[in-house]
Chains A and B, each alone.
Chain A
Amino acid sequence: MSYLLETKDITKRFGGLVAVDKMSFGVKEGEVVAILGDNGAGKSTLIKMISGVYPSDGGTIFYKGVEAKIHTPMDALAVGIETIYQDLALAENLNVYSNIFLGREKTKKKFGFLPVLDHTYMHNESVKVLEKLDIKIPSLKNNVRTLSGGQRQAVAISKSIYWNAKVLIMDEPTASLGVAQQKQVLDLVNSLKDHGLAIILISHQMRDVFEVADRIIVMRRGEKVGDLIKKETTTEEIVNLIVGSELVN
């Protein structure tokens, strides 16, 4: 099966520093690819190029084998690439369904001409997507501020799913969560995989990576130094690739 999303020789420079150097990788439908690397290895820069936050300085991104021109976050969203950032990017002063519909609010016509926000529609649609993912949140009219870390993560993921994400990029999804909530989020990742999504996972937690990933890509100093099937590798091998100690040996 060919890749759903693929990058070829994608590059990003910040002045003299090459943050990502001719990086090529791909992810298939229903596959979880984990990207590992030390701080400053270029993981975040890589996903920011794919999600349109940074324009790339070279190379190409392919979606379903066709070149995708991604220059802004809107371009990425239009293709179906949704990103869940570490800080989740939720507006805490808004309620759950307003966050799910943020930037793409549904309106209806009042008195036949006056556009107003359609709260009922947005609420009901949000209930549907949460049920589909088996996520429980007490009331969607509560502000996101009142939710737990795991629930917020779930809201951010629901938002992507509702908007028809085909490729989901998750940046450190379990970093700020308690143990029970980490489990919930990993279960959610597995269920998303079953729904046929292509998932790119960035994480420091080796345990998380080995629990959900199918393939592991290791980056060091902006370059890809390893692309391994999870079942054929070990934690030790990965750690060696991350720190570069195989060079010493």
Chain B
Amino acid sequence: MTSSLNQMIEESRLLKVIARNWAFCFLISFIVLFSFTGRGFFSIVNFQNIIHLSVIAILMASAETFVIISGGIDLSIGFVMGLSSVTAGKIIQIMFNSGNFSPAFSIFIGVSIALVVSILPGLLSGIVISKYRVPPFIATLGMWGITNGIALKICKGFPVAMLPDSLTKIGNGYILYFKRGDGFSFFGLPYGVGNDKIREYLRLIPNSFIFLIIILLVLWHLLKNTKFGQHTYAIGGNEDAAVRSGIDVKKHIVKIYVLSSFIAGIAGVFNVFQTGIGNFTTFGAMYELFAVAAVVIGGASLMGGKGRLIASVIGVFLIAVLENGLLISGIEPFYRYIAVGLLLILAVVIDELFPDLF
């Protein structure tokens, strides 16, 4: 059956495009479906919410995309994010509450140190993987525990609170605030309007959206247009070939885990801006597994050599739209786990049935 289907797809250009972008087609179908079943699903406000709440998942999936294309896996990103979040939170808390530093300066120092700290787990994993040939699964599983332990040690098991209000004003802010007959303003409510009136304003383009676009553009360029990206694909496709072509594979692998860890660090910093507190990552969050799921749904192979950043982002949105749509449609929330699980398996089955397409 699959061979005749394969042939049909081979012959029709349209079918080929659809089959190749099946995840995107699923995304569109879900959006159409939930627009009918869920009240308020198809609205700019809800779509902005989906994007805003997906930022961390997208960053995680982007990090995982690089690692998976190179033929590895990084299980530590969820807890690296927590480590970065509590590190930033703790430093901002101490500096801000000492009264000696302005909120802006405290935030700047806290964020900078958190980003530097977030590089370290990736650096260690990368060295252990490339130099001592420890399988990535084990090396990053080790780092999974280590980063979690350190994060909990820093925050003593509680979220880091008492941070400046300006964090969430930036993190949850919008570019444009608009009220019919009352004009508009940028980056905040018009002067003199209280926060209690915020619901009367239509808020457009979350700051997080701009932040996300910038990061995705940089990462997309890195993967698609540079030697770094090309070598990442080559290492995932045939590591021996990469070595013999003179690529410094060991160094490259270290770079990839550093990048992955750093992106997770950015996610941690974003988390502080979004919630206004430094959060450690709970065991149940499973950011890394959802990231792997999104990347695989996007068409990447855990064997390496294959994957696209945009496809991984679509994978995240597919999961996010599914969760949001089921919730708004009033379906019990545990069904979403079943749906995500089915999608994940479907992705790999499609990949196996039509290997020539991708």
Q: Which positions in A face B, CB cutoff 8 Å?
A: 53, 73-74, 77, 83, 85, 87-94, 98-99, 102-105, 107, 110, 114-117, 146
Q: Which of B230, B231, B243, B306 is most buried by chain A, counting CB atoms within 10 A of its CB?
A: B230
Interface size class, chain B = 20 to 34
Given contacts A93-B305, A98-B230, A115-B226, contact A103 B237 (CB under 8 A): no
Q: Which of A77, A90, A93 is most buried by chain B, counting CB atoms within 10 A of its CB?
A: A93
4 shortest A-B CB distances, which residue pairs? A103-B245, A93-B237, A93-B305, A91-B237
Query: Which B-chain residue is minimally distant from A74 (CB atoms)?
Result: B246
Given contacts A103-B246, A116-B226, contact A93 B236 (CB under 8 A): yes
Given contacts A91-B233, A91-B242, A92-B238, contact A102 B247 (CB under 8 A): yes
Given contacts A83-B244, A103-B246, contact A90 B230 (CB under 8 A): no
Complex Cα gap A198–B134 (Å): 40
Complex Cα gap A53–B221 (Å): 33
Complex Cα gap A91–B246 (Å): 13
Report B116-160 CB contacts with A as 1/0, cut-off 8 Å. 000000000000000000000000000000000000000000000
Question: Which residue in A83, A90, A103 is a CB contact (below 8 Å) of B247?
Answer: A103
Q: Which of B231, B240, B244, B247 is most buried by chain A, counting CB atoms within 10 A of its CB?
A: B244
Question: Which residue in A77, A85, A146 is a CB contact (below 8 Å) of B246?
Answer: A77
B236 to chain A, nearest CB (A): 7
Complex Cα gap A90–B305 (Å): 12
Complex Cα gap A83–B227 (Å): 23
Please determine whether B237 and A92 come into contact, CB atoms closer than 8 angstroms.
Answer: yes
Query: Which B-chain residue is minimally distant from A83 (CB atoms)?
Result: B244
Given contacts A115-B226, A117-B225, contact A87 B240 (CB under 8 A): yes
Kindly list chain B residues whose C-beta atoms are within 8 Å of the C-beta of A103: 231, 234, 242, 245-247
Given contacts A94-B233, A94-B234, contact A89 B244 (CB under 8 A): yes
Query: Which A-chain residue is minimally distant from B244 (CB atoms)?
Result: A89
Kindly list chain A residues whose C-beta atoms are within 8 Å of the C-beta of B198: none
A206 to chain B, nearest CB (A): 28
Kindly list chain A residues whose C-beta atoms are within 8 Å of the C-beta of B230: 94, 98, 102, 105, 117
Q: Which of A83, A92, A99, A102 is most buried by chain B, counting CB atoms within 10 A of its CB?
A: A102
Kindly list chain B residues whose C-beta atoms are within 8 Å of the C-beta of A92: 237-238, 305
Given contacts A102-B234, A102-B245, A102-B247, contact A91 B305 (CB under 8 A): yes
Given contacts A105-B230, A107-B227, A117-B227, contact A91 B243 (CB under 8 A): no
Q: Does B241 contact A (CB under 8 A)?
A: yes
A140 to chain B, nearest CB (A): 15
Please determine whether A73 and B227 come into contact, CB atoms closer than 8 angstroms.
Answer: no
Report B236-266 CB contacts with A as 1/0, cut-off 8 Å. 1110111111110000000000000000000
Q: Which of A83, A91, A92, A117 is most buried by chain B, counting CB atoms within 10 A of its CB?
A: A91
A-B contacts, 14 of them at CB < 8 A, read: A73-B243, A73-B244, A83-B244, A89-B245, A90-B241, A91-B241, A91-B242, A93-B236, A93-B237, A94-B237, A103-B245, A104-B246, A116-B226, A117-B230
